[in-house]
């Protein structure tokens, strides 16, 4: 049986998410695909969207649609009167208003997650949780931006849902806080309703919990939500951009709850994993990516997977625009700005050397284990500047400073910030050094 246009469009958006930005996808979610007497139509709600479809998206869409259903050769772009469109959407929403919304993104699955040394512990733990085992509760996945935390979280939720858990809820901590604040101000909705919404679930996945830092009342509410779920043996999964104990302004009792299960980190992927990610993404979109081009992209885009995807997208878009196959020359052109920006980036070594010179210590002392104040302080300054002026993660900076742990770097950044806040002479010196480094 052939698929419905609605399903085909869903599949198409799923495929396009590999090549288009999130903003593009949400624009396209407002478009409908229809079939009318053998003619395929893309129906836009407004003129600007219609012209974007024509100018920007159509070649991507036709290619993706053809892949899903080879009989779709051409798509006609049309406009529909907004009120008709709105009316249809509203009636659909009305019918669905009582249905539980999980907010899970079905594009993020375990089988399209590439694992390697940088993330395999987190991957294994997430799969274990997704299998329904309650060994790790809560599971906390932490690490820098664009490294796959949300992907693993959604994949875990999708797996739990497939096991038959109907009420698996994904929410960003920011949404939780905003929802809570709105409920506090809004007499129309009671606190009980708010609490029930987050507690009446089989599993709760809260993304980016660092956002709770400093939000005292939300934390209190979240503490009760957490306890209620935990006591009922519901799985809780959290992600965080740093080790949870390092979240500023987070109550001790929450830190201790967060640490009571398993915390696993994701770090920037190594070269082999980056290449594998590129190849897997390219394959999903039928984009022929020669090994040397994958190697070229992976060697130039090192910081995180989101940027890697962006780079692949630029190369792919250039191939489509100029109707050419991918080559190193084409990729280097497509990534010109990225590569230039990277060349301008300050290296950790430069920061270490300049800081050592400024504070009159040697490079050996900078990298040594010495705790003498006149050496430890410049070292902490150099660590803080490394975090501020480069894309390197805490673990990478720790490694570059004589193989130290990432928590030492986090501690250094905190100490330096405290001193900057209260010591004006220190601040002046720090800023002078920063100017020397950034030219
Ligand atoms: P984070 O939540 O850590 O900021 P995301 O989970 O949003 O990062 O990942 C950013 C993008 O990179 C997403 O599109 C995700 O699918 C992709 N991604 C990250 N890590 C991997 C991986 N190991 N394999 C495949 N895709 C990945
Ligand atoms: Mg995320």
Distances (CA, A) of 352 to 61, 383, 390: 49, 8, 12
Please tell me the distance between residue 377's alpha carbon and the centre of ligand 1 in angstroms.
Answer: 36
> How far is residue 402's CA from residue 190's CA, in Å, rounded to a whole number?
55
Token pair for residue 91?
A: 């009636």
> Nearest Cα to 12, choosing from 56, 51, 42?
42
| Cβ 309 under 6 angstroms from ligand 1 | yes
pLDDT at residue 288, as a whole number: 94
Are the beta carbons of 357 and 326 closer than 8 angstroms?
no
Nearest-ligand number for the alpha carbon of 242: 1
Please tell me the distance between residue 37's alpha carbon and the centre of ligand 2 in angstroms.
Answer: 43
Pairing mode, strands 235-240 and 139-143: parallel
Q: What is the pLDDT of residues 207-262, one digit of tens each?
A: 999 999 999 999 999 999 999 999 999 999 999 999 998 898 999 999 999 999 99
Half-sphere exposure of 311 (CA within 13 A, CB side): 32
| Cβ 144 under 6 angstroms from ligand 1 | no
> Which residues of the chain fall short of a pLDDT of 50?
82-97
Residues 6+ apart with CB under 8 A from 218: 176, 177, 180, 181, 212
Are the beta carbons of 125 and 139 closer than 8 angstroms?
yes
Residue nearest to atom 23 of ligand 1 (CA): 114
Residue 227, SS3 per DSSP? helix
| Cβ 20 under 6 angstroms from ligand 1 | no
Token pair for residue 264?
A: 């696993």
Residue 206, SS3 per DSSP? strand
Length of the chain measured in residues? 439
Residue nearest to atom 9 of ligand 1 (CA): 148
> Nearest Cα to 420, choosing from 433, 436, 405, 407?
433
Residue nearest to atom 6 of ligand 1 (CA): 148
Please give the distance of CA 433 from its chain centroid, rounded to a whole number.
Answer: 33
**DSSP state string for 139-172:** EEEEESTTSSHHHHHHHHHHHHHHTT-S-EEEEE
Residue nearest to atom 14 of ligand 1 (CA): 306
For the beta carbon of residue 82, count every other beta carbon within 10 angstroms: 10
Are the beta carbons of 3 and 10 closer than 8 angstroms?
no
Residues 6+ apart with CB under 8 A from 335: 297, 300, 301, 311, 314, 315
Please tell me the distance between residue 307's alpha carbon and the centre of ligand 1 in angstroms.
Answer: 10
Cis peptide upstream of residue 308 (ω within 30 degrees of 0): no
Distances (CA, A) of 207 to 212, 249, 361: 11, 17, 43
pLDDT at residue 1, as a whole number: 57
Are the beta carbons of 278 and 126 closer than 8 angstroms?
no
Angle at 244 between CA 421 and CA 214, to 5 degrees: 50
> How far is residue 281's CA from residue 70's CA, in Å, rounded to a whole number?
21
pLDDT at residue 88, as a whole number: 36
| Cβ 118 under 6 angstroms from ligand 1 | no
Helices (H) and strands (E) in the chain, counts: 22, 8
| Cβ 145 under 6 angstroms from ligand 1 | yes
Residues 6+ apart with CB under 8 A from 37: none
Nearest-ligand number for the alpha carbon of 147: 1
| Cβ 146 under 6 angstroms from ligand 1 | yes
* The CA-based dihedral angle spanning residues 370, 376, 382, 385, taken in that order and rounded to the nearest 10 degrees: 140
pLDDT at residue 81, as a whole number: 53
> How far is residue 198's CA from residue 97's CA, in Å, rounded to a whole number?
17
Ion ligand 2 neighbours (CB, 5 A) are: 149-150
| Cβ 150 under 6 angstroms from ligand 1 | yes
Pocket-testing residue among 153, 284, 306, ligand 1, by greatest number of atoms within 8 A of Cβ:
306
Token pair for residue 129?
A: 């949780």
H/E stretch holding 39 reads: strand 39-44
Please tell me the distance between residue 36's alpha carbon and the centre of ligand 1 in angstroms.
Answer: 38
């Amino acid at each position: 049986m052939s698929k419905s246009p609605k399903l085909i469009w869903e599949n198409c958006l799923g495929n396009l998410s590999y090549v288009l930005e999130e903003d593009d996808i949400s624009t396209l979610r407002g478009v409908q695909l229809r079939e009318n007497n053998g003619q395929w139509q893309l129906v836009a709600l407004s003129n600007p969207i219609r012209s974007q479809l024509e100018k920007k998206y159509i070649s991507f869409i036709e290619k993706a649609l053809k892949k899903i259903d080879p009989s779709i050769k051409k798509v006609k772009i049309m406009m529909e009167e907004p009120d008709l469109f709105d009316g249809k959407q509203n009636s659909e929403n009305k019918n669905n208003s009582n249905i539980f919304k999980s907010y899970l993104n079905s594009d993020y699955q375990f089988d399209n997650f590439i694992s390697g040394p940088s993330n395999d512990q987190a991957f294994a733990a997430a799969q274990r949780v997704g299998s329904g085992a309650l060994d790790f509760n809560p599971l906390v996945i932490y690490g820098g931006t664009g490294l796959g935390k949300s992907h693993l979280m959604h994949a875990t939720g999708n797996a739990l849902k497939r096991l038959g858990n109907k009420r698996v809820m994904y929410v960003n901590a920011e949404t939780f806080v905003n929802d809570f604040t709105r409920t506090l101000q809004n007499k129309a909705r009671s606190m009980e309703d708010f609490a029930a919404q987050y507690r009446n679930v089989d599993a709760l996945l809260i993304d980016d919990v660092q956002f709770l830092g400093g939000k005292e009342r939300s934390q209190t509410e979240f503490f009760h939500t957490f306890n209620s779920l935990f006591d009922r043996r519901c799985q809780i999964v959290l992600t965080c951009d740093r080790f949870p104990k390092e979240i500023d302004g987070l109550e001790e009792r929450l830190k201790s709850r967060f640490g009571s299960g398993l915390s696993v980190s994701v770090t920037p992927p190594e070269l082999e994993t980056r290449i594998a990610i590129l190849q897997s993404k390219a394959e999903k979109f039928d984009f022929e990516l020669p090994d040397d081009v994958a190697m070229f992209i992976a060697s130039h885009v090192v910081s995180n997977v989101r940027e890697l995807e962006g780079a692949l997208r630029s190369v792919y878009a250039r191939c489509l625009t100029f109707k050419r196959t991918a080559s190193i020359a084409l990729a280097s052109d497509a990534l010109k700005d990225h590569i230039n920006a990277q060349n301008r980036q300050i290296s950790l070594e430069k920061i270490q050397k300049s800081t050592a010179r400024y504070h009159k210590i040697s490079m050996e002392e900078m990298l040594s284990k010495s705790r003498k104040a006149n050496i430890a302080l410049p070292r902490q300054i150099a660590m803080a500047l490394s975090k501020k002026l480069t894309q390197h993660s805490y673990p990478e900076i720790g490694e570059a400073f004589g193989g130290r742990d990432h928590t030492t770097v986090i501690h250094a950044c905190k100490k330096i910030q405290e001193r900057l806040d209260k010591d004006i002479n220190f601040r002046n010196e720090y800023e002078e050094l920063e100017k020397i480094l950034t030219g």
